[in-house]
Structure 1
Amino acid sequence: MMKTDAATVKQVTADWAQVFDGFDIWRPLRLLRRIGPLLQGITLDRSTSGDAYFPTAHIHALARPFPVVSLTLGQRVASKSGMPEAIRFTDHAEDYLGAARRLAGQARLSLDVPPTVGDVVTELRAFAVAQHGMGSWPAVGEVEDSVLISSASGDGDLAEEGLQFARDLVRKWPKHRLPLDWVGEEVWITSLSKKAGNAEDLRAIVESQVRAHKLAEVRQS
Structure 2
Amino acid sequence: MDIDISFAEAMLRRGAGLLEAEAGADEAASDPFAVLARLLAAAAATDAPLVVLSEGGSHPALFDEAARRAGEPLTARLAGLAATRQGERATMYEFDGSGPLTGNRIVAALLRPEERPDLLHVYIAVGRLRGGEAQITVPPALLRFDAAALGQTLGLLGDAVSRSPNAATAALAHAAAVLPMEGHEQGGMPAALLDLYWHALTLASVRADGGLAVMTPEGSA
Q: TM-score, normalised by structure 2?
A: 0.28
The one of the two structures with greater contact order (alpha-carbon pairs below 8 A, sep at least 6) is 2
Q: Which one has a bigger Cα radius of gyration?
A: 1
Higher strand fraction: Structure 1 or Structure 2?
2
